[in-house]
């Protein structure tokens, strides 16, 4: 025998044996290739970093701040966004059952102008009341982490407003979104994720043109969006007197708000006439008192302060980031607000020309 073949076989037999040996050699070579490939794969897997950005814990410092305010990571949250001031607030329910402010974050960039979003591609960041449910959380955003506002909501769809994928996300770039840097969204995302994980079905986002103060209403009194903003203020007033996110529905082409203690209004045509509801008399009285006081102050301020009409320069940026942009340029700001500066700052010249000043907080 030689290499497992019988030398004395006839020519035909020898040919078969040689063919068999060739096949066996190729199979052996293939096995080596497969084994080598598997070893490379195993080695590669061992070196691959796990993408855990969506599961990072709430920073210990923030958990400590929660405890000092009678809050836990499991308590429900609410978020408020103010365009003019370029700020985002996280509110959380505390041990009293009422919501209190946990932390305010500076927004790095938003686009468009004050006013609602109506059309796809208009660069407007939305204004209105939204509910963010677990499926709207995005742990793999191209802008680090994000949550979708759910625009258009029921009212906006009924009004024919169009747009999609309007987010709160990281980095410092916006085309209809609210950008709050990678570090900022990492904290807010973790806080929201923990609240949703233990049973909050969705958290309310109140996206507002500015802090709903008499001074801001007086300054912007000639803006064509004023009726819409007054409608939004009805919701923030309910929150102000109850410290509970209001129930939100729509009728007559407007938002309708009731206190969280009242039954939620049934789903109906947002454009249909509003039927007469019987609101909680105590809440209604407190809201009416607040509105009357604010209207008096707005009238007084309107007599002494000229109305403003800011020029359009495409959105805003919080002064903290605008100063960095002014001193160090867009590349440096991009490095500080996104991983390795991979996401450039959107329209930095417009950000430097942000016409909106920090608003007052009286009455909030």
- The answer to pTM > 0.75 is yes
Which residues contact residue 34 at a Cβ distance below 8 angstroms, ignoring those fewer than 6 apart? Answer: none
Determine phi and psi for 26, rounding to 5 degrees: -70, -40
Helix residue ranges per DSSP H, 48-153: 60-68
pLDDT value at position 355? 87
Q: Indicate whether 233 pLDDT > 80.
A: yes
**Element holding 79 (H helix, E strand):** strand 77-82
Block residue for tokens 């993408």? 51
CA atoms within 13 A on the CB side of 175: 8
CATH 2.40.440.10 fits 60-352, yes or no: yes
The pLDDT mean for the chain works out to: 87
List the alpha helices (DSSP H) in the chain.
Answer: 11-47, 60-68, 154-158, 182-197, 214-219, 226-242, 281-304, 319-328, 330-337, 348-352
| Lowest-confidence pick of 208-217, 218-227, 238-247, 265-274 | 265-274
**Per-residue pLDDT reduced to its tens digit, 154-170:** 999 999 999 999 999 99
Would you state the pLDDT for residue 185?
98
Identify the residue with better confidence: 188 or 9: 188
Tell me the pLDDT tens digit for each residue of 264-317. Answer: 776 679 999 988 776 789 999 999 999 999 999 999 999 999 999 888 889 999
Give the angle subtended at the CA of 186 by the CAs of 127 and 131, to the nearest 5°. 35
Q: Which carries the bigger pLDDT value, residue 305 or residue 24?
A: 305
Burial class (CB in 10 A: 0-12, 13-18, 19+), 69: middle
Residue 45, pLDDT above cutoff 60: no
> Residue 258 has what pLDDT?
93
Catalytic machinery residues: 169, 177
Residue 225: count of CB within 10 angstroms of its CB: 15
Q: Is residue 320 scored above 50 in pLDDT?
A: yes
Residue 230: pLDDT above 50?
yes
Matching residue, tokens 């007197």: 241
Q: Is the peptide bond before 137 cis (omega within 30 degrees of 0)?
A: no
């Amino acid at each position: 025998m030689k290499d497992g073949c019988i030398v004395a076989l006839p020519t035909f037999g020898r040919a078969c044996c040689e063919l068999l040996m060739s096949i066996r050699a190729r199979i052996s070579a293939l096995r080596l290739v497969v084994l080598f490939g598997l070893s490379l794969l195993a080695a590669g897997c061992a070196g691959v970093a796990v993408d855990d950005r969506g599961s990072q814990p709430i920073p210990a410092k923030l958990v400590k701040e929660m405890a000092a305010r009678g809050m836990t990571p499991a308590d429900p949250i609410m978020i408020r966004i103010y365009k003019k001031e370029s700020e985002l607030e996280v509110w959380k329910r505390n041990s009293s059952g009422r919501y209190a402010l946990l932390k305010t974050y500076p927004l790095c960039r938003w686009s468009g102008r004050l006013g609602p979003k109506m059309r796809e591609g208009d660069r407007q960041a939305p204004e209105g009341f939204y509910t963010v449910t677990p499926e709207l959380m995005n742990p793999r955003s191209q802008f680090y982490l994000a949550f979708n506002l759910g625009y258009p909501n029921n009212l906006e769809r009924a009004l024919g407003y169009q747009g999609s994928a309007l987010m709160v996300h990281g980095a410092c770039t916006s085309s209809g979104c609210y950008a709050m840097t990678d570090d900022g969204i990492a904290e807010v995302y973790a806080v929201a994720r923990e609240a949703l994980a233990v049973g909050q079905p969705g958290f309310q986002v109140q996206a507002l043109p500015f802090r709903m103060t008499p001074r801001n209403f007086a300054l912007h009194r000639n803006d064509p969006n004023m009726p819409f903003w007054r409608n939004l203020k009805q919701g923030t007033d309910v929150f102000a007197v109850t410290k509970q996110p209001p129930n939100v529905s729509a009728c007559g082409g407007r938002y309708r708000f009731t206190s969280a203690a009242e039954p939620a209004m049934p789903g109906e045509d947002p454009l249909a006439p509003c039927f007469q509801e019987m609101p909680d008399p105590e809440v209604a009285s407190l809201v009416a008192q607040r509105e009357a006081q604010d209207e008096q102050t707005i009238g007084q301020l309107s007599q002494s302060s000229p109305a403003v009409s800011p020029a359009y320069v495409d959105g805003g940026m919080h002064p903290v980031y605008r100063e960095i942009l002014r001193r160090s340029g867009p590349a440096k700001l991009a490095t500080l607000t996104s991983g390795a500066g991979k996401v450039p700052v959107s329209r930095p010249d417009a950000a430097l020309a942000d016409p909106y000043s920090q608003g007052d907080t009286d009455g909030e």
